[in-house]
Amino acid sequence: MTGTLHRTLAAALIAAVLVSTGCASLGGGAQPAPLLHLVFLTLKDPAAVDALQADCDELLVAIPSVLSYASGRPFDAGRDGVEDDYDLLLALRFADRQGYDDYLVHPRHVELVRRWKPALNPLRIHDAWAQAR
Protein backbone atom coordinates (compact mmCIF):
# COMPACT_ATOMS: atom_id res chain seq x y z
CA MET A 1 0.00 0.00 0.00
CA THR A 2 1.38 3.41 -0.85
CA GLY A 3 1.93 6.07 1.78
CA THR A 4 -0.80 8.20 0.21
CA LEU A 5 -3.35 5.40 0.39
CA HIS A 6 -2.33 4.66 3.98
CA ARG A 7 -2.86 8.30 4.94
CA THR A 8 -6.16 8.49 3.07
CA LEU A 9 -7.48 5.36 4.76
CA ALA A 10 -6.28 6.52 8.18
CA ALA A 11 -7.93 9.93 7.69
CA ALA A 12 -11.23 8.31 6.71
CA LEU A 13 -11.16 6.05 9.75
CA ILE A 14 -10.31 8.93 12.05
CA ALA A 15 -13.29 10.86 10.70
CA ALA A 16 -15.55 7.84 11.23
CA VAL A 17 -14.37 7.42 14.81
CA LEU A 18 -14.87 11.12 15.54
CA VAL A 19 -18.39 11.14 14.17
CA SER A 20 -19.41 7.88 15.83
CA THR A 21 -18.06 8.93 19.23
CA GLY A 22 -19.50 12.41 19.30
CA CYS A 23 -16.22 14.33 19.06
CA ALA A 24 -17.08 16.12 15.88
CA SER A 25 -18.79 19.39 16.56
CA LEU A 26 -21.61 20.72 14.41
CA GLY A 27 -21.21 24.45 14.80
CA GLY A 28 -20.29 24.45 18.50
CA GLY A 29 -17.11 25.52 20.22
CA ALA A 30 -13.76 23.81 20.03
CA GLN A 31 -13.61 20.25 21.29
CA PRO A 32 -10.67 18.67 23.12
CA ALA A 33 -8.20 16.91 20.83
CA PRO A 34 -8.42 13.18 21.52
CA LEU A 35 -5.67 10.77 20.64
CA LEU A 36 -6.73 8.13 18.13
CA HIS A 37 -5.08 4.71 17.97
CA LEU A 38 -5.79 2.65 14.83
CA VAL A 39 -4.42 -0.88 14.60
CA PHE A 40 -4.59 -3.00 11.45
CA LEU A 41 -4.18 -6.68 12.37
CA THR A 42 -3.30 -9.43 9.90
CA LEU A 43 -3.34 -13.00 11.13
CA LYS A 44 -1.07 -15.79 9.99
CA ASP A 45 -4.24 -17.92 10.02
CA PRO A 46 -7.22 -15.71 9.01
CA ALA A 47 -9.61 -18.39 10.31
CA ALA A 48 -8.76 -17.19 13.84
CA VAL A 49 -10.29 -13.73 13.29
CA ASP A 50 -13.47 -14.52 15.28
CA ALA A 51 -11.42 -15.47 18.35
CA LEU A 52 -9.13 -12.46 17.97
CA GLN A 53 -12.05 -10.07 17.66
CA ALA A 54 -13.79 -11.61 20.68
CA ASP A 55 -10.64 -11.24 22.80
CA CYS A 56 -10.11 -7.64 21.68
CA ASP A 57 -13.75 -6.76 22.32
CA GLU A 58 -13.63 -8.30 25.79
CA LEU A 59 -10.25 -7.07 26.97
CA LEU A 60 -9.85 -3.61 25.49
CA VAL A 61 -13.24 -2.05 26.26
CA ALA A 62 -12.70 -2.65 29.99
CA ILE A 63 -9.56 -0.50 30.14
CA PRO A 64 -10.55 2.69 31.99
CA SER A 65 -8.62 5.15 29.79
CA VAL A 66 -10.32 3.94 26.58
CA LEU A 67 -12.99 6.56 25.79
CA SER A 68 -14.32 4.70 22.76
CA TYR A 69 -13.55 1.44 21.04
CA ALA A 70 -14.60 -0.21 17.81
CA SER A 71 -13.44 -3.30 15.95
CA GLY A 72 -14.25 -4.19 12.39
CA ARG A 73 -13.39 -6.28 9.40
CA PRO A 74 -12.66 -5.14 5.86
CA PHE A 75 -15.60 -3.96 3.81
CA ASP A 76 -15.54 -4.48 0.06
CA ALA A 77 -16.87 -1.21 -1.28
CA GLY A 78 -16.06 -2.23 -4.85
CA ARG A 79 -13.85 0.84 -5.27
CA ASP A 80 -10.35 0.99 -6.69
CA GLY A 81 -7.75 2.16 -4.19
CA VAL A 82 -9.58 0.97 -1.07
CA GLU A 83 -7.27 -1.44 0.71
CA ASP A 84 -8.52 -4.54 2.50
CA ASP A 85 -5.20 -6.20 3.27
CA TYR A 86 -5.92 -6.77 6.97
CA ASP A 87 -8.17 -9.11 8.96
CA LEU A 88 -9.27 -6.84 11.80
CA LEU A 89 -9.17 -3.12 12.53
CA LEU A 90 -9.18 -1.70 16.05
CA ALA A 91 -10.03 1.97 16.58
CA LEU A 92 -9.56 3.40 20.07
CA ARG A 93 -9.84 6.94 21.38
CA PHE A 94 -8.12 8.42 24.43
CA ALA A 95 -8.60 11.82 26.05
CA ASP A 96 -4.88 12.53 26.18
CA ARG A 97 -1.37 11.11 26.05
CA GLN A 98 -1.57 9.92 29.66
CA GLY A 99 -4.65 7.82 28.86
CA TYR A 100 -2.82 6.30 25.90
CA ASP A 101 0.26 5.56 27.99
CA ASP A 102 -1.91 3.99 30.71
CA TYR A 103 -3.53 1.76 28.06
CA LEU A 104 -0.19 0.52 26.74
CA VAL A 105 0.84 -0.86 30.16
CA HIS A 106 -2.61 -1.93 31.37
CA PRO A 107 -2.67 -5.66 32.24
CA ARG A 108 -5.56 -6.32 29.81
CA HIS A 109 -3.64 -4.81 26.88
CA VAL A 110 -0.43 -6.58 27.89
CA GLU A 111 -2.34 -9.90 28.10
CA LEU A 112 -3.91 -9.38 24.66
CA VAL A 113 -0.52 -8.66 23.09
CA ARG A 114 1.07 -11.65 24.85
CA ARG A 115 -1.73 -13.95 23.72
CA TRP A 116 -1.97 -12.86 20.07
CA LYS A 117 1.43 -11.48 19.01
CA PRO A 118 2.73 -14.92 17.90
CA ALA A 119 -0.34 -15.36 15.64
CA LEU A 120 0.05 -12.01 13.89
CA ASN A 121 1.98 -10.83 10.88
CA PRO A 122 3.56 -7.40 11.37
CA LEU A 123 1.10 -4.80 12.66
CA ARG A 124 0.27 -1.45 11.14
CA ILE A 125 -0.44 1.13 13.80
CA HIS A 126 -1.49 4.74 13.22
CA ASP A 127 -1.68 7.19 16.13
CA ALA A 128 -2.95 10.73 15.60
CA TRP A 129 -4.21 13.75 17.44
CA ALA A 130 -7.70 14.45 16.13
CA GLN A 131 -8.64 18.09 15.91
CA ALA A 132 -12.42 18.51 15.87
CA ARG A 133 -13.41 21.49 13.75
pLDDT of amino acid 11: 41
Is pLDDT above 70 for 8? no
Q: Kindly report the CATH number that applies to the domain delimited by 3-24+31-129.
A: 3.30.70.100
- With a pLDDT cut of 70, the percent of the chain lying above it is 74
Q: Is the pLDDT of residue 128 over 60?
A: yes
- What pLDDT does residue 76 have? 85
- The pLDDT of 33-38, averaged and rounded, is 91
Check residue 115 and give its pLDDT.
97
Helix (H, G, I), strand (E, B) or coil at 38: strand
The secondary structure element, H or E, covering residue 126 is strand 124-129
CA dihedral 21→102→59→116, nearest 10 degrees, is: 120
What's the whole-model pTM score?
0.76
The dihedral formed by the CA atoms of 72, 78, 84 and 87, expressed in degrees to the nearest 10? 40
Q: Give the pLDDT of residue 133.
A: 66
| Mean pLDDT (whole number) for 37-54 | 97
Contact 130, 84 (CB under 8 A): no
Structural domain boundaries of the chain? 3-24+31-129
Tally the C-alpha atoms within 13 A of residue 57's C-alpha that lie toward its C-beta.
11
Question: Rounded mean pLDDT of the chain?
Answer: 82
Residue 25 has pLDDT above 90, yes or no: no
